[in-house]
């Protein structure tokens, strides 16, 4: 998605627990820190304790930089709070990743606030990775996929069609009705 000479890419991911999220994101973040990417978090569910415990067990060169990222819960979904936080974090002109986790409404509200802020920002490349709780999205997975450019999982960034075979953007899944054991 292009916006005013800015490259804004949106990825979605799904997690079953805070441990799953922490183990999925940590190797990716470690690699991105090596590339001098700015990492910002807007988390409905804190994963600070999980990140700290994993860091203790792993031999990572970027421990201090990873621990300096705010892995705590952010209570607000107001534009003013997101704007203050993003101004304080100072987006770089090159690479920026904003991680958002939580329920669908939390993610949707914060994505709107982020996009509103980005209209004023000088940052050129922004990647927003939305982490949805598996129990939250239920039957809305097609809507989630349609609103994103790629999928993020334990093996990193992937095209949606690599993970969801047969997916076509904007096309709703046809479900077959079974009546008396016979597909209709």
Residue with tokens 């930089």: 65
* 3-7, 62-66, 117-121: the lowest-pLDDT one: 3-7
Helix H or strand E segment including 145: helix 141-146
CA pseudo-torsion sign 161, 164, 166, 168: negative
Helix H or strand E segment including 55: helix 48-57
Per residue in 141-172, pLDDT tens?
888 999 999 999 988 999 999 998 888 887 76
Task: Give me the CATH number covering residue 90.
Answer: 3.40.50
Per residue in 92-133, pLDDT tens?
767 889 999 998 889 999 999 898 888 887 777 889 999 998
Domain count for the chain: 1
Q: Please spell the DSSP secondary structure of 166-182, one letter per residue.
A: T--TTPPPP---EETTE
Q: Give me the domain span that covers residue 95.
A: 2-183
């Amino acid at each position: 998605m292009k916006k005013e000479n800015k490259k804004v890419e949106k990825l979605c991911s799904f997690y079953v627990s805070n441990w799953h999220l922490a183990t999925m994101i940590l190797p990716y973040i470690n690699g991105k820190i090596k590339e001098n990417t700015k990492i910002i978090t807007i988390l409905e569910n804190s994963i600070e304790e999980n990140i700290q415990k994993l860091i203790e067990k792993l031999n990572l060169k970027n421990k201090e930089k990873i621990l300096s990222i705010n892995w705590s819960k952010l209570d607000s979904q107001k534009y003013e709070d997101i704007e203050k936080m993003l101004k304080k974090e100072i987006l770089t002109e090159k690479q920026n990743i904003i991680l958002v986790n939580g329920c669908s409404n939390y993610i949707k509200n914060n994505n709107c606030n982020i996009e509103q802020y980005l209209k004023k920002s000088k940052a050129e490349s922004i990647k927003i990775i939305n982490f949805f709780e598996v129990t939250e999205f239920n039957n809305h997975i097609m809507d989630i996929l349609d609103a994103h450019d790629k999928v993020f999982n334990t093996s990193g960034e992937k095209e949606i069609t690599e993970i969801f075979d047969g997916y076509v953007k904007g096309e709703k899944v046809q479900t077959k009705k079974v009546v008396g054991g016979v597909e209709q």
